[in-house]
């Protein structure tokens, strides 16, 4: 396995299951399973379609793991996320993911021997080392302990002037935790300064308003970051990052996710750390989707997404390479997981035609992440990818239905067209609205997701097809931080602490539809099955045996 050429991808016929069925593969983003509870928005919402699967065909409904080691994360305390979830769903195998690879590289010191570090090190003598990324211990896009190690390691290896450009979280972690993270970082920087390294925080802003847009939904987000990080310009100026975050959080309804951009200035009002010619820059997020746009702005010569004003000549490296197809960025500190021979690639070589669709904010999830962090199709004659433009400049609790209906209608048309064998969608609502922490809106979002499922299931009924409905990780099923006994935790003002993040919960998977061969049911001997088992299951339902190194199928056919 692993050699190139079409034969590598030839799949054996499944002994019992037919080819040519139309299969709807529906991924509900952020839809986990948890006990009934007022903070379980999926339970509170009317979700008759999702409920019916479990009730009417329990042998075709089960739970699968979507967090921790089942999706290649370092530990069972790591919640699932879209990147690792969709990687596992699409690739059918469990890869050590970015978080883990960076841990290894830092622990072993290999990070410092790599080409990427040598490249940025060229600037240490005369230039500044800038680190840009999400300041959080969420472990989804980045981890603070890794940044701390990198800072120390870079200083020990000759970095004399270091500037941090921080993005506050409040999405993968509780809102308000930014203050503590900044304090921790400031302590480390103070120690570096004691040792003669000129190390400071230079700029910042909330991740959803500054820098971390994804899939080119809204370039103004990246521009705000560029202005602060590169040009040293922002509407808010402070003497220290702690003061900045505390002050900006005093505004009514302020939220770590959406803090406005700020720069740190010296006594004369001058920004302490714009990026200039000769500097080195590292974007320290290991996850790709929300760093790719900045990587393009930092790396591309031809760039027309916004006016960069000044394009410094820098040595830039990503923590990882974010896009293997675009080779972006060209320099990186840690090699990404080599996710190859994904199910999508097998399908195009075996005559299975695919349609994939979501709205912008999740479009790359069912395409780029699905295909192992690879842009574009494998074969445009076999695949059609459709992106529905997301609303721009709003938080999704304002519009909790998002584009669920539009996605479902596009999928319905694709199913009814008879042109595709696999119609794959991501329905974002539970996740994107769940991240806002707005419980009422999340309930509305779950209902909308359920309605979208119904539209697609009805189309599958019409064409005699099959459906597979699952999710990539939990979110909307638990919207509160809990103590060890499971009770909602209160903050120091006695207010319930809302959970905006994903969870550790398993997710459901349901199969059905008139085209499902009689006798197909879930095996009982894969009790610890997870997202990575779905690819082999899908390949079987398309009428083929899965590749031998894929995680095993979840289904069996009884006579």
Which residue numbers are catalytic? 82
Minimum distance between the CB of residue 97 and ligand 3PG, rounded to whole angstroms? 12
Contact status: 472 vs Mn ion (CB under 5 A): yes
d(CA 45, CA 195) in angstroms, rounded, equals: 56
Give the residue, chosen from 82, 203, 343, 442, that forms a contact with Mn ion under the rule CB under 5 A: 82
Beta-bridge partners for 276: none
d(CA 213, CA 119) in angstroms, rounded, equals: 27
Number of H helices and number of E strands within the chain? Answer: 17, 17
Q: Which of residues 17-56 bind ligand 3PG (CB under 6 A)?
A: 29-30
Give the residue, chosen from 14, 62, 93, 171, that forms a contact with ligand 3PG under the rule CB under 6 A: 171
Minimum distance between the CB of residue 551 and ligand 3PG, rounded to whole angstroms? 21
The option from ligand 3PG, Mn ion, none interacting with 412 (CB < 5 to 8 A, set by class) reads: none
d(CA 122, CA 119) in angstroms, rounded, equals: 6
Within 10 Å of residue 498's Cβ, how many Cβ atoms? 18
Q: Which is nearer to ligand 3PG, 141 or 224 (CB)?
A: 141
The option from ligand 3PG, Mn ion, none interacting with 172 (CB < 5 to 8 A, set by class) reads: ligand 3PG
Contact status: 135 vs ligand 3PG (CB under 6 A): no
C-alpha distances in Å from residue 529, one per residue of 340, 361, 504 = 21, 28, 15
Q: Which is nearer to ligand 3PG, 140 or 388 (CB)?
A: 140
Give the residue, chosen from 188, 359, 383, 431, that forms a contact with Mn ion under the rule CB under 5 A: 431
d(CA 257, CA 279) in angstroms, rounded, equals: 28
**Backbone phi, then psi, for 416, in 5-degree steps?**
-70, -25
Minimum distance between the CB of residue 30 and ligand 3PG, rounded to whole angstroms? 6
Contact status: 14 vs ligand 3PG (CB under 6 A): no
> Does residue 308 have a known ligand-binding role?
no
> Does residue 207 have a known ligand-binding role?
yes
Minimum distance between the CB of residue 206 and ligand 3PG, rounded to whole angstroms? 12
Contact status: 140 vs ligand 3PG (CB under 6 A): yes
d(CA 285, CA 469) in angstroms, rounded, equals: 31
Contact status: 40 vs Mn ion (CB under 5 A): no
| Strand, helix or coil for residue 272 | coil
d(CA 117, CA 159) in angstroms, rounded, equals: 11
Give the residue, chosen from 47, 81, 217, 470, that forms a contact with ligand 3PG under the rule CB under 6 A: 81
> Does residue 288 have a known ligand-binding role?
yes
Give the residue, chosen from 223, 249, 290, 403, that forms a contact with ligand 3PG under the rule CB under 6 A: 290
Contact status: 431 vs ligand 3PG (CB under 6 A): yes
> Does residue 171 have a known ligand-binding role?
yes
Q: With contacts defined by CB under 5 A, name the span among 10-18, 316-324, 350-358, 466-474 that binds Mn ion.
A: 466-474
Nearest to 296 by CA among 394, 216, 177, 416: 216
Q: Which residues have a Cβ under 8 Å from the Cβ of 112 and sit 6 or more positions away?
A: 153, 157
Burial 456-484 (b: 16+ CB within 10 A, else e): bbebbeebebbbbbbbbbbbbbbbbbeee
Nearest to 411 by CA among 480, 467, 335, 492: 467
Inter-axis angle of helices 219-229 and 292-299, nearest 10: 60
User: From the annotation, which residues make up the binding site?
Assistant: 29, 82, 141, 171-172, 207, 214, 287-290, 362, 431, 435, 472-473, 502
User: From the annotation, which residues make up the binding site for substrate?
Assistant: 141, 171-172, 207, 214, 287-290, 362
Residues that bind ligand 3PG (CB under 6 A): 29-30, 81-82, 140-141, 171-172, 290, 431, 435
User: From the annotation, which residues make up the binding site for Mn(2+)?
Assistant: 29, 82, 431, 435, 472-473, 502
């Amino acid at each position: 396995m692993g050699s190139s050429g079409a034969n590598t991808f030839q799949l054996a016929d499944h002994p019992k299951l037919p080819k040519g069925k139309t299969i709807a593969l529906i991924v509900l983003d952020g839809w986990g399973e948890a006990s009934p509870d007022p903070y379980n928005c999926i339970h509170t919402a009317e979700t008759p379609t999702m409920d019916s699967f479990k009730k009417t065909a329990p042998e075709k409904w089960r739970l699968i793991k979507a967090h921790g080691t089942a999706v290649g994360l370092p530990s069972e305390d790591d919640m699932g996320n879209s990147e690792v979830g969709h990687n596992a769903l699409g690739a059918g195998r469990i890869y050590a993911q970015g978080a883990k690879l960076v841990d290894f590289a830092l622990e072993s010191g290999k990070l410092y021997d790599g080409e990427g570090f040598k490249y940025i090190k060229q600037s240490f003598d005369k230039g500044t080392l800038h680190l840009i990324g999400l300041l959080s211990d969420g472990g989804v896009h980045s981890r603070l302990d890794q940044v701390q190690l990198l800072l120390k390691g870079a200083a020990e290896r000759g970095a004399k002037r270091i500037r941090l450009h921080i993005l506050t979280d409040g999405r993968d972690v509780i809102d308000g935790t930014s203050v503590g993270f900044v304090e921790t970082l400031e302590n480390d920087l103070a120690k570096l300064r004691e040792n003669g390294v000129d190390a400071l925080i230079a700029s910042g802003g909330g991740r959803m308003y500054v820098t971390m847009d994804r899939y080119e939904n809204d370039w103004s987000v990246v521009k705000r970051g560029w202005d602060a990080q590169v040009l040293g310009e922002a509407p808010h100026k402070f003497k220290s990052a702690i003061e900045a975050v505390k002050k900006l959080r005093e505004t009514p309804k302020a939220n770590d996710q959406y803090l406005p951009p700020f720069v740190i200035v010296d006594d004369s009002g001058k920004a302490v750390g714009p990026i200039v010619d000769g500097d080195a820059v590292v974007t320290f997020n290991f996850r790709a989707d929300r760093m790719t746009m900045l990587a393009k702005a930092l790396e591309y010569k031809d760039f027309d997404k916004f006016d960069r004003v000044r394009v410094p000549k820098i040595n830039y490296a990503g923590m990882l390479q974010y896009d293997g197809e675009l080779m972006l960025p060209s320099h990186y500190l840690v090699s990404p997981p080599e996710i190859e021979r994904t199910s999508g690639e097998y399908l195009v070589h075996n005559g299975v035609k695919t349609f994939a669709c979501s709205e912008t904010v999740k479009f790359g999830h069912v395409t780029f992440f699905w295909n192992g962090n690879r842009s574009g199709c494998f074969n445009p004659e076999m695949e059609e990818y459709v992106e529905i433009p997301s609303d721009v400049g709003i938080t999704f609790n304002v519009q909790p239905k998002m584009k669920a209906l539009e996605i479902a209608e596009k999928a319905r048309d694709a199913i009814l067209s008879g042109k595709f064998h696999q119609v794959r969608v991501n329905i974002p609502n539970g996740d994107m609205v769940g991240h806002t922490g707005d419980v009422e809106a999340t309930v509305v979002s779950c209902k909308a997701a359920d309605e979208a499922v119904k539209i697609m299931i009805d189309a599958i009924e019409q064409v005699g097809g099959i459906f597979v409905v699952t999710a990539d990780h939990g979110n909307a099923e638990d919207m509160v931080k809990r103590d060890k006994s499971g009770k909602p935790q209160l903050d120091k003002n006695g207010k319930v602490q809302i959970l905006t993040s994903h969870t550790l919960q398993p997710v459901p998977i349901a199969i059905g539809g008139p085209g499902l061969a009689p006798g197909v049911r879930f095996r009982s001997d894969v009790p610890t099955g997870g997202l990575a088992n779905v690819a082999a299951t899908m390949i079987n339902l398309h009428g083929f045996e899965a590749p031998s190194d894929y995680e095993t199928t979840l289904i069996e056919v009884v006579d």
